[in-house]
Amino acid sequence: MEDYNYVHSDTDLDIISKKEFWKLIKAGLIIDARAGGLILGPSIEQGGIDCVAETPDGFTKIGKIEGGVFIVNSLANKNYSDKLLAFNAYDTLFYEDEPVDYIISPTTCVYNTYGVEEKLVWLRGDEFIMNKYASFKFLKEIEEINYFDFRV
């Protein structure tokens, strides 16, 4: 995993046992975002959203993301990494960038982390995390890339 994808924190390397992880799933505290999609939730300044990935020892906290990012699945990341990197270089938002006639595609998963601070986002660890500014500006193109390579 590369540093541009996540904000690493002091929670990195916390291990959650597989038994505890499945309890968290049953309690609705795990969001399975391995297929990609748009994340709604707090900014990094507001605490962000913890991400976990499976390891032989259990599930490890791998960092934090923030609301507004788009997770691009592993296969799409592998096939379109150059294009995604180019999109992700966009790190500012301008008024003229606001889409006026685009609605999120019905094929896009939207994951809401608001309301429960303990929610964890489950990733494989090799997805591409599109920053919130690039996600906003290039949403249609990112959705198409993610959907085209949906099967991971």
pLDDT, one tens digit per residue, over 6-33 is 444 444 457 899 999 999 999 999 999 9
Structure tokens at 134: 């690039």
pTM of this prediction?
0.84
**Residue 3 buriedness (CB in 10 A; 0-12 / 13-18 / 19+):** exposed
Q: Which residues constitute the domain of residue 52?
A: 3-148
Residue 91 buriedness (CB in 10 A; 0-12 / 13-18 / 19+): exposed
pLDDT tens-place string over residues 92-113: 776 566 656 678 888 899 999 9
The listed range with the strongest mean pLDDT (44-48, 101-105, 127-131, 148-152) is: 127-131
Number of domains present in the structure of the chain: 1
